[in-house]
Amino acid sequence: MVDAELPRNAQGRFYHLNCGPGDLAAYILTCGDPGRARKIAHYLDNVAVRRRNREFLCITGCYHGLPLSVMATGIGPDNTAIAVVEAAQCVSNATFIRLGSCGALQPEINPGDLILTERVLRDEATTHYYAPPAYEARAHPQVLQALEEAAAELGAPYYVGLTCTTADFYSGQARQAPGFPLLEPGKVERLRRAGVLNMEMEMAAYLTLAGVSTYPLRAGGACAVLNNRITGASVFDSARLKALAEKRLIQVGLRAVEILAAEDWLRKRT
């Protein structure tokens, strides 16, 4: 069955996510890497739904009794926008919390630290189909506050500020790859001077689409720093540090969901 506007598969689910209404919880932890999604899902008390299609992976269960979904989208803002649009058809009041990885652009930020995005520089094309260039994409304040509280409570070192989302890992992030042109060699330094904390490849899609949607969506996110583009320091120098960074990221995300859920329950009661 195919709808001209919202394609569905033979099971009647939305085509890319292979999910339909009832398959996703209102709180969704997201990432690009399906491997990280499976690590997050290990924390679930049970799994009721597990769907895989192409690079997309969706797992729904409960965390400490709270319905929770984990969604992997693959790399890039284009994949992410598809996932957000289809997920919102499944649960229109969704809260998306991205748990990603990034490169830091300020020298004081260490590998393994977390960066919580307050607003995002939309250095990609996908979100410009949804909002004009002047639109300022920001994390939902409730989501950002929950992430800050979770990071502080768990003792995770973190920074809050401006993230740059790009659509390319190499020239788009000023990496010189043999055989390919680099149009702006000074991009990292330009962004550093502008106060950008980090570069990654998905956050803009979550913040922009949630911000402009007519559905009551919320979005925010945290990224674990894998390397510092200024100092050259990297978690890849230590397998222990890399594992710690990802575990820290996941635990902060899970705790933020608990904080949000408790606050949402209180708001409904008053």
CATH number of the domain residue 117 falls in:
3.40.50.1580
* Residues 80, 206 contacting (CB under 8 angstroms): yes
Among 229, 246, 248, 255, the active-site one is: 229
pLDDT of res. 4: 59
198-211 residues labelled b (16+ CB within 10 A) or e (exposed): bbbbbbbbbbbbbb
Q: For this structure, is 86 an active site residue?
A: yes
Look up 136 and say whether it is catalytic: no
pLDDT tens column, 229-247: 999 999 998 999 999 999 9
Which one from 36, 51, 86, 255 is the annotated catalytic residue? 86
* Range name among 2-16, 55-69, 87-101, 115-129 with the lowest pLDDT average: 2-16
- In a domain, residue 19? The reply is no
What pLDDT does 270 receive? 79
Q: How many domains does the chain have?
A: 1
**Looking at the domain assignment, is residue 253 inside a domain?**
yes
Q: Which of 175, 189, 192, 263 is catalytic?
A: 175
Does residue 121 sit within a domain?
Answer: yes
Q: In the annotation, is 16 catalytic?
A: yes
End-to-end CA distance of the chain: 43
Q: Is 114 exposed, middle or buried (0-12, 13-18, 19+ CB in 10 A)?
A: buried
Residue 11, in any domain of the structure: no
Residue 18 domain flag: no
Q: pLDDT digit string (tens) for 115-144? A: 999 999 999 999 999 999 999 999 999 999
In a domain, 17, yes or no: no
Given a cut of 90, is residue 269 above it in pLDDT? no
Q: In whole angstroms, what is the distance from residue 176 CA to residue 162 CA?
A: 24
- What integer pLDDT is reported at residue 2 of this predicted model? 41
Range of the domain at 67: 27-269
Section 187-215 average pLDDT: 98
If you average pLDDT over every residue of the chain, what do you get?
Answer: 96
pTM for the whole structure: 0.96
pLDDT in tens, 84-112: 999 999 999 999 999 999 999 999 999 99
Q: Is residue 229 in a domain? A: yes
Known active-site residue 175: yes
Segment holding 229, helix H or strand E:
none
Q: Does residue 132 sit within a domain?
A: yes
